[in-house]
Structure 1
Amino acid sequence: MAQFDDWCISVEAPVGNNRLRVITGQTSNLGVGIQATAAVVPTHYASAEQIARALARLGKQAAAAQIESLLPTTKQIRSGDLAEIYAAEWIDAHSGGYRAPIKRLRWKDHRNMAMRGDDVIGIFQDPQTHRLQFLKTEAKSRVRLSAQVLTEARAGLDKDGGLPSAHALHFISARLLELGNQPLADSIDDALLKHGVPPQSVRHLLFTFSGNAPDALLTASLQAYSGPITQWGIGLRVEGHAEFIGAVYDRVIANANNS
């Protein structure tokens, strides 16, 4: 986990019927944040089994080279990937029961290309009915967050009638089958092909990672939304945003070489 509570402070407030949380990295604890983040970043690009197999077969140097070969090298792609990683980590730890069932970045076409489609989809399964609820997520990372960026995120959330796209859900289902999680894959297929995905089973998460304060921008975005789907706005702020990202990826590479 990214262990947000160990290096950030969080403040939550309602915005109408919606929810806003601002998570601020504490300057004195950013080293903790870099270490905690670097520990989880490799798992979003490769499975533990894949890394362990490379280590067992080829040795430490080759395993480290494999990890480094999967990491993006451009600042823009690293920034976008880290926002998606943080969104998935937040969902798993702090969303009240939703889980991001796959780590989507493992299936990138190229390490320096962004993936298309819904950034992250969190899923909650009712233990009695086994019906699914979805948390459709757009994750944005900018040194300086702007209203235009949130407008772009809103457009992504509102696509497909505000629902998770069928393509994204089919993708998750197929990956879950490959990973051996047939029950959840079947439940996703049932939602798509048997029950449908009603708007009341969906929430939206607008997740931002920025160097400037996101409070006012996220509040305005939530207030402007007039649709039927409950909205969550989560803003992670880290001063020295670009330097922090660089330090995280440098630490990932250093950890791989020293493990």
Structure 2
Amino acid sequence: MALGDRGAGRFPPVTREKIIITGASSGLGEGMAREFAARGRSLGLAARRLDKLEDLAADLSAQAKAVAVTRLDVTDTDDVTRAFAELSAELGGVDRVIVNAGLGKGAPIGTGNAAANIETVQTNLVGALAQIEAAMAIFRAQGYGHLVLISSISAVRGLPKAQAAYSASKAGLSTLGQGLQAELAGTPIVVTVILPGYIETDINRGVKTKLMTDTRSGVAALVKAIEREPRRAEVPAWPWKPLAAALRFLPEAVSAKLV
């Protein structure tokens, strides 16, 4: 399978056979697990709800080459290394890690709901950093790998009210990815930052927008982008690629209404 963005670079196209996905018990994580299983990959799945993971693993066993699961709360940062090492050992190695576990809680800052905002940042940024540390330790030791960071279109520009902490957490995640890309350019360790727009999942339940993409189409676009291994991809590309560009320059009164 040719990976267009990577194949155009210094290293030849590869297929990532052994994939770890966090936040895999529901939403985009579950969707990606199902899509990669249909492609015959080996999967290491982590999430807080072990019962959900075990049910998912049973569903995927007929298609995936192998499925390993472990319970992981990414805010328990000391446990992330254990979980990644365990999944890697069960799969016989790891070629790709998808840092997907995330939280969509939030409240206007200073309105008495600080706990929701702090939990969002702890999960989406601190927890993600712990995952990046664990994944990169594996990749540096073996000399190759593909790190995928599931950020958000919300990372492009600071958003108001209940989205402020979420937006900031995803912006931090994107910046971590950019820093690693600069460091690892020209090496066999590839870093991809994915910025999904509105895709129909629990985290977007209740959002009223004409820009919502159904789950199946959104996940298909997500996996297609990941397989290309670009530095950055807005997903789905239409309308989010042009909207992401616009968000950088539009007046605040307009940008706040778009995301």
Above 0.5 in TM-score? no
Relative to its length, the structure with more strand (as a share) is 1
Higher share of residues assigned helix: 1
Higher relative contact order (CA 8 A, sep 6+): 1
Question: Shorter-chain TM-score: what band?
Answer: 0.3 to 0.5
TM-score w.r.t. structure 2 length?
A: 0.32
Q: Computing the radius of gyration over CA atoms, which structure comes out larger, 1 or 2?
A: 1
